[in-house]
Structure 1
């Protein structure tokens, strides 16, 4: 399988190289960071309303001043699907004054 030479393509390539089967569904986790717990929780609450297929986990990150929101969804980890989800999360996270911090697959 060939992947584009951008960050998402590189991550998928490394996963495939590590032996992860990208032809089956996986739980993909998208990471977001916020200054306050309230901002992270507000986005989690919003996603629960509009996208019940997404599971959210709000927790403190290693840095006590940063709150993390991990958003999990089970999908085929195809390049185009990941790009669409990244763009979707990017739109939402800015509404709650946070920023995206990458993604990964639960292994």
Structure 2
């Protein structure tokens, strides 16, 4: 199949989704997608976490000293069909939220599950 650039644009998000599709991942099924925010201060990460909990988001938080001392990572776990437009919308929303708490948006990831009947 040739790549549909409307569904899988030629950018980072489109490339990841295209690779998932090419690897046999069913993008019409819900996946847990993890969006990450990074904070230099624990207090800011905690305030952002409370805000996201009040927005009914599923979150986790950890200190990632392997990357930098005092780097707090806040992960938001969203179960959704991996759709380009929806991912871009969530990235924009999480970017704004991170900035409100002196953090930054740090990308998204998704575990892919390929079921092989053989």
TM-score normalised per structure 1: 0.90
2:40 pairs with 30, 35, 42, which one? Answer: 35
Q: TM-score, normalised by structure 2?
A: 0.82
For structure 2, the 5+ residue unaligned runs are 113-118
Runs of 4+ in 1 over 4 A off after TM superposition: none
The residue aligned with 1:69 is 74
- Structure number having the greater helix percentage: 1
* Structure of higher CA gyration radius: 2
Secondary structure of the structure 2 residue equivalent to 1:56: strand
Task: Give secondary structure in 2 for the equivalent of 1:64.
Answer: coil
22-31 vs 57-66, greater mean Cα deviation:
57-66
Gaps of 5+ in 1: none
Match of 2:115 in 1: none
User: For each residue in 1:14-70, what CA deviation from the matched residue of structure 2 results, as whole angstroms up to 9, or x when unmatched?
Assistant: 222222211111111101110011111111100111x21x21111011233211001
2:19 counterpart SS class: helix
Match of 2:61 among 43, 58, 61: 58
- Further displaced range: 60-69 or 70-79: 60-69
